[in-house]
Structure 1
Amino acid sequence: MEASSKDWRYTVMPAVFTWLKESESGVLEIDLEATQKYAADILKVQGKHGTRMGGLVGSGTLGENSYLSSEQRLSLLKALSSVANEYNVPLISGAAAETKEELAKIVKELATVGVDTVMVMPPKTKVAPSDEQMYAYYALSAAAAKEAGITIMPYNNPDAAGYHALSTDLLTRLAALPEVTALKISTIDVSVIETMILENKDLKVLAGVDTVTVHAGLAGACGGITGVGCIFPKASITMQEYVNNGEWAEANKISQAMNSISYLDAQPLLLEYLKFAFGIHHNDANGGLRTFGKKLTQPQIDDVRARYIKAKERLEILGLID
């Protein structure tokens, strides 16, 4: 397999949900056909200026990743690979491990089912590694990716890692690895992005939180990975189009319209919240409540519904509902 040569600049990519169904015995299992259908539906959508999503992220946080077995994850990604190939976009998925050797093995496994780029989370350790230990962890994953003919994307997500964010010095060193396609930064402090871009204007950084799309663009990010964009893809793509063109006022109108629901992307229960909102959007609210994650309370359900309705009403005024 050859490493993906698709241009990652100026794009937004959906972190798609893993759709579930009840088996005859009442056990939840992955609905591969539904997951493929919804992923394809998102990739079909165009923004107001004619562009589409630039990639497909599967089995991430919003894809129930932490609840899936290795076998389930590989089966899911193989199914999503066919969708990504149909729309000529890279397939991205995440990986994390306690040791660099275990991580290298996972990277190679993901390559066998069609993953083009692996988002590499920091090590799953109780004690934060030193910068040198962290670099070695990512460097071995890069070597494994090179051997498998794919690329990696270091993923700076301190909340998920459970310890401090990766330093800008370390991120800059990681970005220099030939196998690194881009950096994903999940933070509301976009000054981190700007600091790195000032040092290297050619650096490719993707924002990982929907609430900061416009500000991340101002700081120099070349795009983002979106959860809300699965629900309102036309709005998400169009907002990125405006960001790319430097039309900040127009981009900000869309950002403000989606504020009520984008807020959910930065919450600990983002999977449960956004998946339910996605279910409402597709007239399948009960399906949206099917998750391996936590069960939502009635007040939480009511809050998500109200936030979804408010965002939809605002986006309808802007002509951005598919």
Structure 2
Amino acid sequence: MKKTNRTDWRHTVMPAVFTWLKEVKPGILEIDFDATKKHAANILKVQGKGGSRMGGLVGSGTLGENSYLTSEQRLALLKALSEVAKEYSVPLISGAAAETKEELAKIVEDLATIGVDSVMVMPPKTTTVPSDEEMFAYYELAEITARGAGVTIMPYNNPDAAGYHALSTNLLRRISVLPNVTALKISTIDVSIIETLMLENNDLKVLAGVDTVTVHAGLAGACGGITGVGCIFPKASVTMQEYVVNGEWAKANQISRAMNSISYLDAQPLLMEYLKYAFAIHHNDTDGGLRTFGNKLTQQQIDDVKARYILAKERLEALDLI
């Protein structure tokens, strides 16, 4: 299949896939490229009840252990995922964050060389909070660099769970009109931010990044979303987005409520560890789900994830969405 360069993200949901790891020596983990590609392909194969599929592939994001990967690991991972994106004719999106705008520009250039279509740019990884002008300069250089490299950028506001610096609404307005910004990713449970931006600019494209608010974000004007829970339950996630697009809010909300026990985890600080383990339960590979460069889950947390997964699965089975 020929890869498209569609980066307008209209009416679509995209999976933020997990980076699967293998233990090559006791205590030594490496990326399992084959398993990661297989899981990504299986998600992209799934159709919703209306026949649509995921509209893109997000690799090396928050759920893909982005914060823990070296530059070499990140590029190798995305090069592998670019093969899957090409096979299914969807754009490939990567997360990117850095301390300085110059470091970020280099990351954007490198990502463009290995098949990434759009770079999901997180705020700078600094301990001190940058001013709006410093933050704007950071995104402006990323946009200029992306334009020169032939890719687009997707500014990413995620203050709730991931601990990144929050982008003010005024800053989001300024960034959104830069030429190579094709969408904003807003990961917050406060969807009024989305509604405010959309009321001011109806042409703006906003992707919701928290699974608990997919329906509310759609009501506020979001054109789609990036999902973690959709990696575990892709049929449900795609079908819910189909209902949102068609304005069938009651049906969409029914699915959202069915998934709520596990979607809740998407807005927690350990969202990557929690959802990766839930994904592993779904695929009968709990040991694999506990292999992470991130935090180790306690037994209490493991038990909680299991209970939440089982409840969501039972509810979705009743709706014929597994």
Same fold (TM over 0.5): yes
Distance 1:6 1:98, change over 3 A: closer
1:134 maps to 135
Deviation at 1:169, TM superposition (A): 1.9
Maintained 8 Å contact 1:49/1:238: yes
Contact kept, 8 Å, 2:12 with 2:225, in 1: the verdict is: yes
Contact 2:154 2:182 in 1 (8 A): yes
Could you tell me which runs of 5 or more consecutive residues in structure 2 were left unpaired when the two chains were aligned.
none
Contact conserved, 1:122 with 1:134, CA < 8 A, in 2? yes
Deviates more, 1:3-12 or 1:119-128: 3-12
- Tell me which amino acid in the other structure corresponds to 1:185: I
Contact 1:4 1:150 in 2 (8 A): no
- The equivalent residue for 1:33 is 34
- How do residues 64-75 of structure 1 correspond to structure 2 at under 5 angstroms? 64-75=65-76
**2:200 corresponds to:** 199
| Matching residue's letter, 1:125 | T
Match of 1:106 in 2: 107
The SS at the match of 1:23 is: strand
**What CA distance in whole angstroms lies between the structure 2 residues aligned with 1:60 and 1:40?**
17
* 4+ aligned runs moved over 4 Å, structure 1: none
Deviations 1:115-172 (Å, cap 9, x if unpaired)? 1100111112222222222111111100100111000000111243544x21222211
Return the alpha-carbon distance in structure 1 between the equivalents of residues 120 and 129 of structure 2. Answer: 19
Distance in 1 separating the partners of 2:133 and 2:299: 47
Match of 2:119 in 1: 118
TM-superposed CA distance for 1:4, in Å, is 2.8
SS in 1 for 2:104: helix
Which secondary structure state, in structure 2, belongs to the residue aligned with residue 13 of structure 1? strand
Match in the other structure for 1:89 = 90
Cα distance, 1:25 vs. partner? Answer: 5.1
Does the CA-based 8 Å contact 2:7-2:117 persist in structure 1? no
Indicate conservation of the 8 Å contact 1:197/1:220, yes or no. Answer: yes
Alpha-carbon distance between aligned partners in 1 of 2:177 and 2:155, rounded to the nearest angstrom: 11
**1:261–1:80 Cα change, 3 Å:** same
**Contact 1:3–1:116 under 8 Å retained in 2:** no
Q: RMSD between aligned alpha carbons? A: 1.4
For structure 1, the residue ranges without an aligned partner over 5 or more in a row are none
Conservation of the 8 A alpha-carbon contact between 1:123 and 1:161: no
- What is the rounded CA distance, in whole Å, between the counterparts of 2:125 and 2:55 in structure 1? 29
- Does the aligned pair in 2 maintain the 1:4–1:151 contact within 8 Å? no
**Contact 1:3–1:151 (CA<8 Å) still a contact in 2?**
no
Partner of 2:293 in structure 1?
292
Provide the residue aligned with 1:167 in structure 2.
Answer: 168
- Is 1:260–1:308's contact at 8 Å kept on the other side of the alignment? yes
Residue identity in the other structure for 1:245? N
SS in 2 for 1:72: helix
Residue correspondence of structure 1 range 243-262 to structure 2 within 5 A: 243-262=244-263
Mapping 1:218-257, distance limit 5 Å: 218-257=219-258
Matched residues in 2 for 1:43 and 1:287: separation? 21
Letter in 2 for 1:299: Q
Q: When the two structures are superposed, what TM-score results if normalisation uses the length of structure 2?
A: 0.96
Deviations 1:281-309 (A, max 9, x none): 01111111111111111111111101000
Q: Displacement, 1:106?
A: 0.7
Q: How many residues align?
A: 319
Higher mean alpha-carbon deviation, 288-297 vs 245-254, is at 288-297
